[in-house]
């Protein structure tokens, strides 16, 4: 705490980074069914220090963050006990960064590879220790599910506002476009999707606020519920924003019109955190003992 918290409490803007996705595949490192066996970045205890080796791809704030919470394995065969979350300060020898990825969306977010070459940090930089680190890692899956869903909702709401506004003034068949019943049906489907996303997010928010009733947040049941919201929100946002684009004609893709940003931005909510397939495993695992097939 004393080592890291002060950097984030001063007048200077400081970033942190969750360095999780291994270069060899985010789906494996973020798949809870593999219980740490898919994590490729290693941490070996040498005296009072952890020695970290590996390569991460795409972490947000890679290269600009002051501190990297790094997802490692101390032993890929030890199950959750082998999962280690270790803080690595930016200036640690052996820690280097690649070029920021060029991407079609979220252009203001910096995503750069993070390389660990015999990076040594004191053993007390480990977050909590064997077992608890895995709990926190699974909790990250739940918390970021909420975050991804709220992002999907915000993008979909902006898309809806644009569609409603444009179709209210644009004329077709001698009346505003939205007065045609075939168009009204699509607008209604957008509204239904947005309201269902909201309901699911509010419900999950209530659960997160009442962990005494619904916790712990790393249980398979809680993670399943949180991931349900994330998967549903991502899929719904992409579907309704794509459909809404049809009501704007070619303006949907014009760079001089705000809708194309919604079309681009929504997609990430289906791609990160292991993607929608791994996420569906998390959902299923809340209902039965879904086996690890590694
Ligand atoms: C804008 C942005 C921000 C990001 N922020 C961060 C961050 O802050 N920190 C971080 O660590 N990472 C971050 N990432 C990385 C992101 O989390 C990963 O890219 C994502 O988890 C997918 O990993 P991958 O690209 O390596 O896909 P891969 O692992 O190569 O998987 C590709 C696809 O293969 C399929 N697949 C793989 N394994 C299986 C399986 N067992 N069963 C079924 N299907 C499977 C899935 O459909 C999967 O989507 C970010 C990415 C972006 C684009």
Question: Ligand 1 atom 31: the closest Cα is on which residue?
Answer: 27
Q: Does the pLDDT of residue 32 top 90, yes or no?
A: no
Percentage with pLDDT > 70 across the chain: 99
What's the 3-state SS for 89-148?
Answer: ECCCCCEEECCCCCCCCCCCCCECCEEEEEEEEEHHHECCCCCHHHHHHHHHHHHHHHHH
Mean pLDDT, rounded, for 44-51: 98
What is the Cα–Cα distance from 268 to 245, expressed in whole angstroms? 18
Binding site membership of 19 for ligand 1 (Cβ less than 6 Å) = yes
3-state SS, residue 49: strand
Q: Is 279 in the pocket of ligand 1 (CB under 6 A)?
A: no
Segment 75-89 mean pLDDT: 96
The predicted model scores a pTM of: 0.95
The minimum-distance atom of ligand 1 relative to the CA of 71 is 11
Nearest residue to 151 via CA among 230, 205, 98: 230
Q: What is the DSSP string of 215-262?
A: --TTSHHHHHHHHHHHHHHHHHHHHHHHHHHGGGGGGGG-TTSTHHHH
Q: Do the Cβ atoms of 74 and 52 come closer than 8 Å?
A: no
Ligand 1 atom 7: residue of nearest CA: 59
- Please work out whether the CB of residue 29 comes within 6 Å of at least one atom of ligand 1: no
Q: Where are the chain's structural domains?
A: 5-127, 133-285
Q: Whose CA is nearest to atom 47 of ligand 1?
A: 277
Ligand 1 mean position, distance from CA 58 (Å): 9
Confidence tier at 10 by pLDDT (50, 70, 90): confident
Residue 100 Cβ < 6 Å to ligand 1: no
155-207 pLDDT tens trace:
999 999 999 999 999 999 999 999 999 999 999 999 999 999 999 999 999 99
Q: Is the CB of 265 under 6 A from ligand 1?
A: no
Angle between helices 181-209 and 132-169 (to 10 degrees): 150
Ligand 1 pocket, 54 CB below 6 A? no
Q: Is the pLDDT of residue 152 over 80?
A: yes
Element (H, E) at 48: none
Average pLDDT over all residues of the chain: 95
Query: Mean per-residue pLDDT for 198-224?
Result: 96
Please answer whether residues 106 and 152 qualify as being in contact, where contact means their C-beta atoms are separated by less than 8 angstroms: no
The CATH code of domain 133-285 reads 1.20.140.10
| pLDDT for the residue numbered 293 | 58
Q: Which CATH architecture has domain 5-127?
A: Beta Barrel (2.40)
Q: Is 107 in the pocket of ligand 1 (CB under 6 A)?
A: no
CA–CA dist 83, 260 (Å, integer): 40
Give the distance (Å) from ligand 1 centre to CA of residue 272.
Answer: 5
- Regarding the beta carbon of 85 and ligand 1, being less than 6 Å apart is answered no
Contact status, residue 115 vs residue 92, Cβ threshold 8 Å: no
């Amino acid at each position: 705490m004393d080592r890291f918290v002060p950097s984030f409490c001063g007048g200077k803007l400081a970033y942190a980074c969750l360095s999780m996705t291994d270069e060899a595949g985010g789906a494996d490192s973020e798949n809870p069914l593999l219980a740490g066996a898919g994590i490729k970045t290693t941490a070996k205890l040498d005296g009072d220090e952890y020695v970290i080796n590996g390569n991460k791809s795409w972490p947000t704030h890679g290269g600009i963050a002051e501190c990297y919470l790094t997802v490692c394995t101390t032993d890929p065969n030890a199950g959750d006990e082998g999962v280690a979350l270790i803080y690595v300060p930016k200036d640690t020898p052996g820690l280097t960064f690649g070029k920021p990825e060029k991407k079609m969306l979220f252009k203001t977010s910096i995503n750069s590879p993070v390389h660990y070459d015999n990076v040594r940090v004191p053993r007390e930089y480990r977050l909590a220790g064997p077992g608890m680190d895995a709990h926190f890692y699974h909790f990250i899956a739940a918390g970021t599910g909420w975050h991804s869903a709220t992002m999907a909702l915000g993008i979909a709401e902006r898309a809806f506002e644009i569609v409603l506004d444009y179709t209210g003034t644009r004329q077709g068949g001698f009346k505003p476009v939205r007065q045609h019943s075939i168009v009204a049906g699509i607008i209604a489907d957008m509204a239904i999707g947005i309201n269902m996303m909201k309901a699911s997010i509010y419900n999950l928010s209530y659960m997160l606020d009442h962990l005494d009733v619904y916790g712990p947040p790393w249980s398979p049941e809680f993670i399943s519920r949180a991931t349900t919201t994330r998967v549903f929100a991502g899929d719904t946002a992409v579907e309704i924003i794509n459909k809404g684009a049809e009501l704007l004609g070619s303006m949907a893709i014009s760079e001089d019109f705000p809708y194309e940003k919604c079309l681009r931005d929504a997609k990430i909510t289906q791609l990160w955190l292991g993607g929608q397939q791994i996420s569906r495993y998390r959902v299923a695992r809340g209902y039965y003992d879904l086996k690890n097939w590694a």
